[in-house]
Structure 1
Amino acid sequence: MIKFFTLISIIVVSVVLFVGLGIYGLSKIETQQTKREAAEMAAKGFALGVSSQMELLQKTLDKMSKDPEVLAAIYSNNTATIDAAASKLEHHIPDTLKIRLLQPGISEPDKKAIPRMGYADLDMVSETFSKNQPPAIQGDKGPDRHLAVARQVVHNGKVIAVLLASMNPEIINHAIQKAVVENSYIALKQGKLVLASNGEASPDDEPIVIDIPNSNWSINYQANINGNYNELLLVSSILLLSVLIILLTVFITYRKLSDVLTEDLRSVMKAFKDMMSSKMQGNYPVELTEMSNIISTLAQFKRVLDNENQRNAAINTISNLVVSDDADYELDDFFNNSDDFKL
């Protein structure tokens, strides 16, 4: 019987583990897909937010470049007047560090004001005279690091100057902090340079890359789809607890059934002995219905055997009867001496 219960235990435990791990695997796939979709939505939302923010900033600078006071200062060709007009514009846009109005032919960067104008800014200004350039983060980390936005100053269809706005780069960091989904990684990149990031990147997962319109920036986003240690520990604990409960149930059932069978077999053997000695009396209590049926069957079989033995004994008695002749008894004399039979 122990082999039977061992086989049952193995089968039940295997089924529980198979079903449990199967459900966990299916739920993990579904969770991974959900996380990927959430990551993609968050990345697209952040990209749209940054793009809208930069578009609004550029439109604001374009409108400011058409201010009559700005145009008059540029046409004055007076450096002090131009700087004064540029400084006045700084108060109209939040997070502005410095605004410069630069005329054609500029060849040296401005190192006087903070943040200082670097050669990357100078290249951007030179290219902006031909075509407006997308915003870019310029300068090393520290006071000179800034978000550079260069816009053409156009009058009568002619580019007469470039408005270069140096913005606080933290506006990008503030935006990226709001775009994070739990257990994810997001980064704003300018080429290979990471401008801002939040979360921890996973080397095993390919990031979602979304280009931001009207810029040379891209969003790299990762969703942590591998799960964590706590999740695996919880699933393992549930499966282990289920297996222990099954094994305990099987063991208790085995012990209980073993005790019941032992007692019932004692009753059956006692009934059998009483049948053989023709001393069967009273009831023989058993817990299993099958054992009660066995006792009934044995009793019926015993009665059949008793009846058959009695019949066989009777037949043997009749078969053993012997009829013998008596020498002193003559039937012929009986007929010869009887007057009744004389003719």
Structure 2
Amino acid sequence: MKPKLKFTLKSKHDSESGPRLNLARLFAGLGGLSLLGLVGSAWGLYTLAIQGQATASLQGSRWVAETAAAHLSHVLALSGGVLEQQAQDPDYARILGGGEPDRIRAAEERLTRALPEALLVRLLPDSLDVPDEQRTPRMGYADLDAVRQAGSQPMPPTLHAANTPDAHIALAKPLAGGNGVVLASLTPKLATAALPKLDRGGLELKQQNLSFAFQGETALKSTPPDGTVPVPGTPWTLAYWGARSDGAELPWFLGYAGLAALLIAAGAYLAQRWATAALRHDQDNIVLMVRDALSGKGPRRYPLQLGDTLRLALQLEQLKGPPPASPTASEPSVPAPLPGLPAEGPYNPFSIVLAEPEITELPAVEIPTAATPPTAPAVSLDPALFRAYDILGTVGANLTAETMQLLGRAIGSEIRERGEYTVAMGRDGRASSLELAQALGRGLTASGCSVIDVGRVPTPALYFALHALGLESGVMLTGGDAPPDQNGLKLLIGGERPDRDGLLKLKERIEHDHFASGNGMLEAQNILQDYAESIVHDTQLGREMKVVIDCGNGVTGPFAPDLFQEIGCQVLPLYTEVDGAFPNHFPDPSQTANLATVIRAVRQERADLGLAFDSDGDRLGVVDSSGKIIWPDQQMMLFAADVLSRQPGSDIVFDAQCTRHLASHIVRNGGRPLMWKVGAVPLHTKLKETGALLAGDLAGHFFFKERWSGFEDGLYAAARLLEILSGDPRPTAQVFAELPENVKLPELRINMSHAEKPRFLEQVRAQADFADARITDIDGLRVDFADGWGLVRDDPDSPTLALRFEADNPDTLLRIQGEFKTLLQKVKPKLSFPLSLSERLDP
């Protein structure tokens, strides 16, 4: 007897009204509520957006005004700096004192040319009683006040004779030695040009109640401004107006809201159709399941689509009936279980057999566990390894493969501590570099760092890789300009270049076994092609240049000739085979003797230029078409003028060893000169700190932030130099001959222990008393006279003091050297001074 099941589809309460709810009504109700919510939200968002737009516009306008005020202040300060620099030239004071009108007019014309924003620059005695009304722009009594107060209470830049043909901004600076003033009359257009062009909102420059420059919607001038900001260093204010809303956004908001409503309605309709179909499908399968159970049929697959109906089916499965009696002739036997059912146990008519997914079993992969690095031995590294800005040691003595592996673990641990996990690594061409690089890689990966090994490359190619790959840490294994038996590391960790204190932290890590652990991966990657293509695409030569290239058997040898040939040069290569013994000459282009071969080749081959690179390619030496050495501070003059032609007002950084003419050359070309400490790392740090676009030193390091990454790069600097020179049809010797030049001595050295040097230099600075000279103490003591300068400083990497001298002529050079000798021996009477001037002058 088959059991019969009865299902009640209606309750007694629903017999007349039918089902309380169906999916169509449910989704229609939800869709309606969503539409109502959308409309309300859209209107609220529109209201908030208009309010937020007004607030944002006001905040943005104030920011624009503050930025414009700061820019205008900077422009005026730059003009003031140029004028002040010119006023310090003693020639102008002498010309004014001579009283010759023609010479004074010629000097005024020269001053006017030096200041592009000037309508006229006047040389005037500070005792002037009557304003000059003969020339345009005519002076007024306000200008006369500026002249009289220039030496005591200088007046800020002020607008005079507004809205007349004589309108000008007055700027006055005292002449060197007093008794005279330089008065510049700047064009008022300078102020207008400093304001940004605005399509909406407005900016108005005012001096008290006088408006003399406006940018933006002119209709706003009839309404009160939203605020004002002062222009630093001036009596001016900058009023600003935020952009006004005209309601034009409302149709867009309504349009977007309508589109969203249509999408919601369409989505609700489609979801309702799908849910209804899925529910009907599952209902049919559950009914089939129940029928099969009642008829005694074996279970089959009942595919379900909705989670809720699957739960219902699982609940039905729990309704287990009693085990059936032994089969008889009158009752059908229970069919054999289908595949997938248990062979034993009571038959459950409500069992659901679900199709199992096909599973492909993958072979087991052994996951390496973090190997416990061997406990570091109790080591004590030689402190001499850790120099001012790099690591350098003698291979086989205080620098071994074991030492390098420990350094790698310490560097990797420092990188990990800063939240980084990837480091790029490169090496130079010294005989020891490959073995040491392998040890370095083992140490870095043992710390858990992933290493990108760019192989044997110039140092700037590693810096390029960091920039291109977006990495903050890199290690270059190179001996730099040390002898062949030495090697070391240049580091960038977390975007910073560590100084001696930072390097000594690595020593402490090693000696205290303070390492991170892990199993980093090492990946080899060739970046030289990308580096070369980037330089080629960045530079454009105006004509073919015949160039002698001396690689000095350094790492640039296999790379540089092809690079410059690709740029558009006819290349005459020298010493391109990489040989860490440097058999021909040592690759240090800052030493005259190392450039002898290039000089000879340029003259014999009548080349346009000679280029010489150091052992790892981050420094550049140059020889002009006559065979004359062009020192890096003269090269900087060309680089600075080129950069400033596109980026006027930029900071240009140089070291304390550079010629005094470099600063004035930068000012004449519209830049801001910044003298800083000697060394590639301090210069790079200063470049980043100030946002300067160019830096360089007397050693031949050049840092281009304009169009390049901002790291020192001798190869890229050479390409930029060729780009500049190829745009001038003259021989390169004539181009360089226009640059100012003095007589200079090579660097001189005085032996002194590291412990003694700081106290000695402190006493030297205290004893320094030079009349009519400017003293700079950012790196030792530099004294600039009117006709030359001298420098004494600490060389942090050797037990010596370094001295440099430069002057207009040999006699003056001898005088300055003598004054320094007197000063130094005043502090230490028995101090041994270097060779005499006549023995050390450059040939």
TM over 0.5: yes
Match of 2:85 among 43, 54, 63: 63
Q: What is the SS of the residue equivalent to 2:128?
A: coil
Which 5+ residue runs of structure 2 have no aligned equivalent? 1-32, 263-843
Match of 1:122 among 144, 158, 163: 144
Which residue in 1 is equivalent to 2:192? Answer: 173
Q: What is the SS of the residue equivalent to 1:160?
A: coil
Q: Could you list the per-position Cα deviations for residues 34-77 of structure 1 after superposition, in whole angstroms to 9, with x for gaps in the alignment?
A: 22232122112111111111111111111111222201112223
Q: Distance in 2 between matches of 1:242 and 1:44?
A: 40
Letter aligned with residue 216 of structure 2: G
Q: Is the 8 A contact 1:40 1:221 kept in 2?
A: yes
Deviation at 1:103, TM superposition (A): 0.8
Q: Distance in 1 between matches of 2:136 and 2:231?
A: 28
Q: Aligned ranges for residues 1-343 of structure 1 at < 5 Å?
A: 18-155=40-177, 159-176=178-195, 179-200=196-217, 201=220, 206-224=225-243, 226-232=244-250, 234-235=252-253
Indicate how the Cα distance of structure 1 residues 204 and 24 shifts in structure 2: closer, same or farther if over 3 A, else same.
farther
Q: Distance in 2 between matches of 1:16 and 1:133?
A: 62
Indicate how the Cα distance of structure 1 residues 76 and 145 shifts in structure 2: closer, same or farther if over 3 A, else same.
same
Q: Is the 8 A contact 2:172 2:183 kept in 1?
A: yes
Q: Is the 8 A contact 2:93 2:180 kept in 1?
A: no
Q: What is the SS of the residue equivalent to 2:143?
A: helix
Q: Distance in 2 between matches of 1:49 and 1:93?
A: 18
Q: Is the 8 A contact 1:153 1:161 kept in 2?
A: yes
Q: Could you list the per-position Cα deviations for residues 301-338 of structure 1 after superposition, in whole angstroms to 9, with x for gaps in the alignment?
A: xxxxxxxxxxxxxxxxxxxxxxxxxxxxxxxxxxxxxx
Letter aligned with residue 162 of structure 1: V
Deviation at 1:160, TM superposition (A): 1.3
Q: What is the SS of the residue equivalent to 2:205?
A: strand
Deviation at 1:175, TM superposition (A): 1.6
Q: Distance in 1 between matches of 2:224 and 2:211?
A: 18
Deviation at 1:118, TM superposition (A): 1.9
Q: Is the 8 A contact 2:225 2:239 kept in 1?
A: no
Q: What is the SS of the residue equivalent to 1:215?
A: coil
Q: Is the 8 A contact 2:90 2:176 kept in 1?
A: no
Q: Distance in 2 between matches of 1:83 and 1:204?
A: 48
Which residue in 1 is equivalent to 2:418? Answer: none
Letter aligned with residue 97 of structure 2: Y
Indicate how the Cα distance of structure 1 residues 142 and 165 shifts in structure 2: closer, same or farther if over 3 A, else same.
same
Q: Is the 8 A contact 1:133 1:151 kept in 2?
A: no
Letter aligned with residue 192 of structure 1: N
Deviation at 1:92, TM superposition (A): 1.4
Deviation at 1:134, TM superposition (A): 0.8
Deviation at 1:135, TM superposition (A): 0.7
Q: Is the 8 A contact 1:66 1:154 kept in 2?
A: yes
Indicate how the Cα distance of structure 1 residues 91 and 206 shifts in structure 2: closer, same or farther if over 3 A, else same.
closer
Which residue in 2 is equivalent to 1:278? Answer: none
Letter aligned with residue 118 of structure 2: T
Q: Is the 8 A contact 2:80 2:171 kept in 1?
A: yes
Indicate how the Cα distance of structure 1 residues 154 and 132 shifts in structure 2: closer, same or farther if over 3 A, else same.
farther
Moved more, 45-54 or 139-148: 139-148
Letter aligned with residue 216 of structure 1: P
Percentage of matched positions with identical amino acids: 25
Q: What is the SS of the residue equivalent to 2:48?
A: helix
In the superposition, the TM-score normalised over structure 2's length comes to 0.25
Q: Distance in 1 between matches of 2:48 and 2:154?
A: 51
Q: Could you list the per-position Cα deviations for residues 237-291 of structure 1 after superposition, in whole angstroms to 9, with x for gaps in the alignment?
A: 7789999x9xxxxxxxxxxxxxxxxxxxxxxxxxxxxxxxxxxxxxxxxxxxxxx
Q: Distance in 2 between matches of 1:24 and 1:188?
A: 34
Letter aligned with residue 127 of structure 2: G
Letter aligned with residue 123 of structure 2: L
Higher helix share: 1
How many aligned positions are there?
234
Q: What is the SS of the residue equivalent to 1:126?
A: helix
Letter aligned with residue 116 of structure 1: R
Q: Is the 8 A contact 1:189 1:195 kept in 2?
A: yes
Which residue in 1 is equivalent to 2:693? Answer: none
Q: Is the 8 A contact 2:62 2:240 kept in 1?
A: yes
Q: Distance in 1 between matches of 2:140 and 2:256?
A: 61
Deviation at 1:198, TM superposition (A): 0.7
Letter aligned with residue 135 of structure 2: A
Deviation at 1:129, TM superposition (A): 3.9
Q: Distance in 2 between matches of 1:44 and 1:114?
A: 33
Moved more, 88-97 or 229-238: 229-238
Q: Distance in 2 between matches of 1:205 and 1:139?
A: 26
Deviation at 1:182, TM superposition (A): 4.0
Bigger radius of gyration? 1
Q: RMSD in angstroms over aligned alpha carbons?
A: 3.3
The answer to which structure, 1 or 2, has the higher relative contact order (CA under 8 A, 6+ apart) is 1
Q: Distance in 1 between matches of 2:135 and 2:114?
A: 19
Q: What is the SS of the residue equivalent to 2:129?
A: coil
Q: Distance in 2 between matches of 1:241 and 1:202?
A: 40
Q: Is the 8 A contact 1:69 1:85 kept in 2?
A: no
Q: Is the 8 A contact 1:39 1:181 kept in 2?
A: no
Q: Could you list the per-position Cα deviations for residues 99-135 of structure 1 after superposition, in whole angstroms to 9, with x for gaps in the alignment?
A: 1111132222111111111222222223324321111
Deviation at 1:138, TM superposition (A): 1.4
Q: What is the SS of the residue equivalent to 1:171?
A: helix
Indicate how the Cα distance of structure 1 residues 214 and 87 shifts in structure 2: closer, same or farther if over 3 A, else same.
same
Letter aligned with residue 132 of structure 1: P
Letter aligned with residue 42 of structure 2: G
Deviation at 1:204, TM superposition (A): 5.7
Q: Distance in 2 between matches of 1:205 and 1:96?
A: 34
Q: What is the SS of the residue equivalent to 1:147?
A: strand
Indicate how the Cα distance of structure 1 residues 100 and 231 shifts in structure 2: closer, same or farther if over 3 A, else same.
same
